[in-house]
Amino acid sequence: MKGNIFLVIILMLFLVLAASADPSYEKSGTITISVADIGTTLSFKVINCTTCGFTSYYNEETTTTTTTLSNLTKDMSILNFPKKIEIVQGESKNTTLNVKNTGDETLNNITFSVSGIDSSWYSVGNISVIYAGLTESTTLKITVPSVANLSIKDITITATSASKKTSTATTQLKILPNEDTKAMIRKLYNIYKAKLESLNQTINELASKGKNVRTARQIFGEAESKLNLAKKNIDDNNYYDAYFNLMSAKDKIIELEKEIERVRRTFAWWVYPIIGVIVLIVIFVIYLFLPEKEEEYEYVEEVSE
């Protein structure tokens, strides 16, 4: 009886050991990696039990796998932003801002700032989140005041995420004239044209009096050239360039007025040779009337021995 009970116990123990040697049994663990390990290659060895029971220790198969550790990055880029934006005085324009997450981690709370124009000129929405590899968009609205000067402004748009990653894009804002400014440009052209014609008459009058107007005629030609360019721009509906050619013509007209005033204060060209002859005559006459110097004799007294 005791022998049978002992056999039963031995059989149960064997079954328990056999169950514990199941080849499908898995063991998991944890590997701790520090920042210093980034960029290194790690190897892992996996041991598979191919038999059960006590013999499994002597009959094992191994599989080795390798992996390279890399650091997760956060980065972004503003894509395909236009290099030039043209807006008429008093009007607005919307421009799309496309921002791509070029890193490996999610970017949150992307805000935008614009330099090169007053903060009251623009508005732009934020982007709440951009997942890795994806692109999100927002709208930049620029409003140009009606009294803004015609000009080209260099603008920089900067995107900044919550993790302080940034991306920039640059563009040029060209401010074009509205209808009121176009009317003002046409009026300025007529004023400067009439002024230049009047100055040309003055130059001809000074020339008829024998004045040296060579420099004045040169400046007149430069002013007339700028005025003609402005007229061509107006005819081509290019009021932006017409305005700046008129400003150049204005500067030349001011320079011409100063030159004419200088010429007015000078003598006619033929006066200078006459003055030269008169000066020579006066010198000659003065020379004639100068008293002659008495000859000085040196007396030597004879000394008798």
Q: Any residues with CB less than 8 A from the CB of 51 and at least 6 apart, and which?
A: 21, 59
List, for residues 229-261, the tens digit of each pLDDT value: 999 999 999 999 999 999 999 999 999 999 999
Q: What residues pair up with 166 in beta bridges, in sequence order?
A: 160
Question: pLDDT band at residue 266, thresholds of 50, 70 and 90?
Answer: confident
Q: Give me the amino acid identity at 164.
A: K
Do 36 and 61 contact (CB within 8 A), yes or no?
A: no
Do 110 and 99 contact (CB within 8 A), yes or no?
A: yes
Q: Tokens 């030269």 belong to which residue?
A: 276
Q: What residues pair up with 167 in beta bridges, in sequence order?
A: 159
User: What residue spans in the chain does CATH classification 2.60.40.10 cover?
Assistant: 76-176
Residue 287's SS3 state is helix
- pTM of this prediction exceeds 0.75: no
In whole angstroms, how far apart are CA 65 and each of 25, 42, 72, 288? 20, 8, 22, 124
Do 129 and 162 contact (CB within 8 A), yes or no?
A: no
Q: Tokens 């890795």 belong to which residue?
A: 132
| Alpha helices, DSSP H, located in the chain | 2-20, 179-208, 214-235, 239-264, 271-288
Residue 100's SS3 state is strand
**pLDDT, mean over the chain:** 81
Q: Give me the amino acid identity at 206.
A: L
Looking at the chain, the number of H-run helices and the number of E-run strands are 5, 11
For residue 205, the model assigns a pLDDT of: 95
Question: pLDDT band at residue 73, thresholds of 50, 70 and 90?
Answer: confident
Do 147 and 60 contact (CB within 8 A), yes or no?
A: no
Do 121 and 93 contact (CB within 8 A), yes or no?
A: no
**Looking at the predicted structure, is the pLDDT value of residue 287 above 90?**
no
DSSP string computed for 196-207: HHHHHHHHHHHH
76-176 has which fold? Answer: Immunoglobulin-like (2.60.40)
Query: Exposed, middle or buried by CB within 10 Å (0-12, 13-18, 19+), for 79?
Result: middle
Q: Any residues with CB less than 8 A from the CB of 71 and at least 6 apart, and which?
A: 35, 38, 39
**Looking at the predicted structure, is the pLDDT value of residue 60 above 50?**
no
List, for residues 146-164, the tens digit of each pLDDT value: 999 999 999 999 999 999 9
Q: What residues pair up with 76 in beta bridges, in sequence order?
A: 101
179-264 has which fold? Answer: Substrate Binding Domain Of Dnak; Chain:A; Domain 2 (1.20.1270)
**Looking at the predicted structure, is the pLDDT value of residue 52 above 50?**
no
Specify the range with the lowest mean pLDDT, choosing from 64-68, 130-134, 183-187, 268-272: 268-272
Do 48 and 60 contact (CB within 8 A), yes or no?
A: yes
**Looking at the predicted structure, is the pLDDT value of residue 268 above 60?**
no
- Among 26, 15, 23, CA closest to 52: 23
- Among 217, 223, 226, 224, CA closest to 263: 217
State the Cα angle at 237 between 232 and 238, rounded to 5°.
75
For residue 46, the model assigns a pLDDT of: 52
List, for residues 113-145, the tens digit of each pLDDT value: 999 999 999 999 999 999 999 999 999 999 999
For residue 263, the model assigns a pLDDT of: 93
Question: pLDDT band at residue 279, thresholds of 50, 70 and 90?
Answer: confident
Determine the distance from the C-alpha atom of residue 154 to the mean position of all C-alpha atoms in its chain, rounded to a whole number: 5
Specify the range with the lowest mean pLDDT, choosing from 50-54, 112-116, 173-177, 290-294: 50-54
For residue 58, the model assigns a pLDDT of: 40
Dihedrals phi, psi of 255, to nearest 5 degrees = -65, -40
